[in-house]
Structure formats: C-alpha cells, structure tokens
C-alpha cells in the first residue's frame, strides 16, 4: 500500500508543481509553433536577435522568426496584445522570471487588424 | 575487434543516417514556406527625382502620407518628429517662389554614418540610410552632422506604433524611404501620394529605369552638391 501511495505521489508531483508555480498564459490563437515549444522557451531571444539584425541591415524579411509572426499567433484573442496583463503571452512569463522586455517600447505589441494584414503580407 | 564492437559500430552508423534523413526534409520545408530571404544588394541604388515645377504650392499630401504611413503625430513643435517637410523658397530679387519637399537625402557618403559612435547610423547596401534603433544611444551626433536637418529625436514615450515602423523614445529617426514598403516592391508613401506625380522613385543604378532615363535627359540638382555627398534624392527645376 505504501509503495502504491508513493508511486502515485511521484506521478502527480510534476503536474502539481507546474500547475501551481508556472505562469498560466493566454496563448492566443496558438497552434503549431515554428519550433518545439520547449526549445522556444529557452531560445526565442536568440532567434529574435538574429532575425532583427538580418532584417534591419540586410532587408531579409523572412517571416518565420519575425516578432510580427510571434504576435500574429500569440496575441490574446481578448485584447489583441502580448503584453499588459498578468497572463499575456510575453509579459506573463517575463514577470514570472523577472526579466524586463524592451521590445515593446518601440515595437507594436498588437496583432495587425485583419484589414491591413492582406496588403502587408 | 570483438563482435560486440562491430555490431555497436554498425548500429551507430545506421542511427546517424536515420537522423540525417529526418532533419533534411524539415530544413527544406522551412526554406520553401516563407517569403523574402535574400539580402539587399548594391546592384540597386534607390533614389528619387523631385520635379519642383510640378510641386504645388500649399499642397501637403506627401507630408501627410508620410505621417500616416509611419505613425508620426504630424505636430510641428521642436520636439515632434518630422521626416519630410514642405519648404518654400523665395527669391527676393526676382520674386520667384518655389515649393519642394525636403527629407533625408540618402547620401552615398552620409555624414551621419561617419559620426555615429555605435554604428547605429548605417547605409544599407541598396543606398537607403537608416538608424538601427537597437544600437542607437540617442547621442544625436548624427543630427548635428546632417546638413539637411533631416533627423529627429524622439523625446517622449510613444504608444501604438505601426507594426512595420517601430519607433521609440531616446532614439534618432528619419525618413527610411519607406524601407518596409520598398522591400515588398512598393513605392514610398510620399511618392505614391503626390497628386502631380512629381516624386519619381526608382533604381539609380539601372540605366533603363524611368528615373535614370529622366536624369539623363533633364537638368537635375543635388542640394548642397558642394559637399560631395552624392545624394540619392535629386531635384529638378531649382
């Protein structure tokens, strides 16, 4: 009986920990990400930085790793934004990790309105 | 070598092969699924020819189009950004008046790039002079160096910027020749908005482009040509 109880506790512990401590995010539209979610959690900043230099200096506007592409899927369906609330996609995690995001002092945090999207893609 | 070792090697070989096959189609799919992946090249030099005779006195359409496209406030106070201005010239002796739009002249030898201490101010391979705001520290040396007073400093925090035109407090900015539109194959907003079609945008390096043909046939001037900056914006009729 003891063994059974112990194995049961071991099995539910990770789930329980994730539920309590991890930030609960509004992932917006979500869907298939450009990379594995776990890889993205760790490396999204490197990918964005690389893309940013290529876009600004060389005019390479590949949409795969662009900030606009992130926002397109992950802006909340409630307020079209990735920041501003405790469960916003970017801000939720960044608050939890106490890492300041500078991106949105200059960049728009909002999903483009559907009307504009067609012409700018 | 023992039998186990041989079998082990064989297993490693096949598993590495399987991994390579699994990665390759993913890479190919990624390359094909997304748009413009080519870097801009110096085979192109973007420029404009502005016909001042057609530029109507009192018309402000290019300025308004610029403000709208780039999300500028349109205010005229010393702390408001102005990427393009309508300038009116008055010859006191003859009484001749002239109106023309003035903006970043996208020099081939830009003084703003020379003075920038962080290499934030740079010239793209296709001749467009830009500020990399990720690197800009807001020292404003470039604003001092520019003979055309083309650059503005953002003094206040901004909100609701355009997704294609990021702008922020503490950085210098100027006309980008609507680089986000040019990269999509469109014209700059001012050229598109001009009701008299007096702003001609095109590739100065292509001898067959409309702008090159026109520059060959009509007299055009670079403003402050004496500085030898080889500007990308040329004026006709001044």
Question: Which of A54, A107, A112 lies at the smallest CB-CB distance from B166?
Answer: A107
pLDDT of the residue at A63: 87
Shortest CA gap A69–chain B (Å): 11
Side-chain-side CA neighbours of A78 within 13 Å: the count stands at 10
Average pLDDT score, chain A? 83
Rounded to 10 degrees, the C-alpha dihedral B37/B45/B192/B79 comes to 90
Please say whether the beta carbons of A109 and A101 come within 8 A.
no
pLDDT higher than 70, residue A2: no
pLDDT of the residue at B37: 82
Mutate which: A56, A71, A111, A119, vs B, most B CBs within 10 A: A56
pLDDT higher than 80, residue A111: yes
Q: For B69-124, what is each residue's pLDDT tens digit?
A: 999 999 999 999 999 999 999 999 999 999 999 999 999 999 999 999 999 999 99
Q: What percentage of chain B exceeds 70 in pLDDT?
A: 85
Q: For A6-42, what is each residue's pLDDT tens digit?
A: 555 555 554 444 557 788 899 998 888 999 999 999 9
**Cβ contact, residue pair A63, B130, below 8 Å:** no
Of the ranges B30-34, B77-81, B127-131, which one carries the lowest mean pLDDT score? B30-34
A110 interfacial to chain B (CB closer than 8 Å): yes
Chain B residues lying within 8 Å of A108, measured CB to CB: 160-163, 166
Task: Indicate the burial class of A37 (C-beta count within 10 angstroms; 0-12, 13-18, 19 or more).
Answer: exposed
Q: For A75-88, what is each residue's pLDDT tens digit?
A: 999 999 999 998 99
DSSP at B175: -
A112 interfacial to chain B (CB closer than 8 Å): yes
Separation CA A66–CA A53 (nearest Å): 11
pLDDT of the residue at A121: 39
pLDDT of the residue at B11: 64
User: Which A positions 63-82 lie with beta carbon below 8 A of chain B?
Assistant: 63-64, 68, 71
Please say whether the beta carbons of B105 and B176 come within 8 A.
no
A38 interfacial to chain B (CB closer than 8 Å): no
pLDDT higher than 80, residue A100: yes
Separation CA A59–CA A103 (nearest Å): 19
- Tokens 């043909």: give the residue: B213
pLDDT of the residue at B24: 35
Shortest CA gap A1–chain B (Å): 42
pLDDT higher than 50, residue B30: no
Question: Which of A53, A58, A108 lies at the smallest CB-CB distance from B163?
Answer: A108
Helix (H, G, I), strand (E, B) or coil at B180: helix
pLDDT of the residue at A16: 46
pLDDT of the residue at B6: 67
pLDDT of the residue at B22: 39
What residues form DSSP beta bridges with B102?
A: B85
Shortest CA gap B177–chain A (Å): 13
| Integer CA distances (angstroms), B34 to B29, B110, B121, B125, B197, in order | 9, 34, 29, 23, 34
The model's pTM is 0.81
Q: For B175-231, what is each residue's pLDDT tens digit?
A: 999 999 999 999 999 999 999 999 999 999 999 999 999 999 999 999 999 999 999
DSSP at B131: E
pLDDT of the residue at B63: 97
Question: Which of A57, A64, A106 lies at the smallest CB-CB distance from B161?
Answer: A106
pLDDT of the residue at B46: 97
Confidence of residue B15 (pLDDT cuts 50, 70, 90): low
Separation CA B178–CA B156 (nearest Å): 23
Helix (H, G, I), strand (E, B) or coil at B71: coil
């Amino acid at each position: 009986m003891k063994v059974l109880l112990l194995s049961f506790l071991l099995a539910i512990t990770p789930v329980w920990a994730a539920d309590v401590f991890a930030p609960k995010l509004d992932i917006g539209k979500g869907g298939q990400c450009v990379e594995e979610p776990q890889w993205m959690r760790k490396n999204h900043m490197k990918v964005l930085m690389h893309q940013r230099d290529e876009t600004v200096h060389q005019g390479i506007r590949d949409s795969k790793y662009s900030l606009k592409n992130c926002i397109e899927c992950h802006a909340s369906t409630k307020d079209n934004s990735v920041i501003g609330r405790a469960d916003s996609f970017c801000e939720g995690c960044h608050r939890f990790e106490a890492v300041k995001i500078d991106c949105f002092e200059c960049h728009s945090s909002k999903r483009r309105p559907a009307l504009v999207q067609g012409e700018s893609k | 070598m023992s039998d186990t070792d041989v079998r082990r090697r064989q297993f490693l070989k096949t598993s590495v092969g399987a991994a390579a096959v699994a990665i390759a189609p993913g890479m190919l799919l990624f390359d094909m699924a997304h748009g413009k992946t080519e870097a801009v090249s110096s085979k192109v030099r973007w420029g404009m020819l502005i016909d001042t005779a057609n530029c109507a006195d009192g018309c402000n359409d290019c300025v308004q189009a610029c403000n709208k496209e780039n999300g500028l406030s349109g205010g005229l106070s010393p702390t408001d950004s102005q990427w393009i201005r309508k300038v009116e010239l008055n010859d006191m002796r003859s009484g001749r008046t002239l109106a023309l739009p003035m903006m970043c002249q996208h020099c081939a030898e830009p003084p703003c790039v020379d003075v920038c201490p962080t290499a934030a101010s740079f010239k793209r391979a296709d001749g467009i002079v830009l500020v990399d705001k990720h690197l800009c520290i807001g020292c404003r040396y470039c604003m001092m160096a520019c003979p055309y007073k083309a650059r503005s400093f953002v003094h206040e925090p901004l909100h609701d910027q355009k997704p294609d035109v990021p702008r922020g407090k503490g950085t210098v900015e100027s006309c980008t020749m609507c680089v986000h539109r040019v990269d999509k194959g469109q014209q700059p907003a001012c050229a598109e908005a001009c009701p008299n079609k007096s702003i001609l945008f095109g590739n100065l390096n292509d001898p067959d482009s409309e702008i090159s043909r026109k520059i060959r046939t009509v007299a055009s001037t670079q403003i402050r040509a004496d500085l030898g900056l080889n500007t990308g914006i040329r004026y006709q009729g001044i």
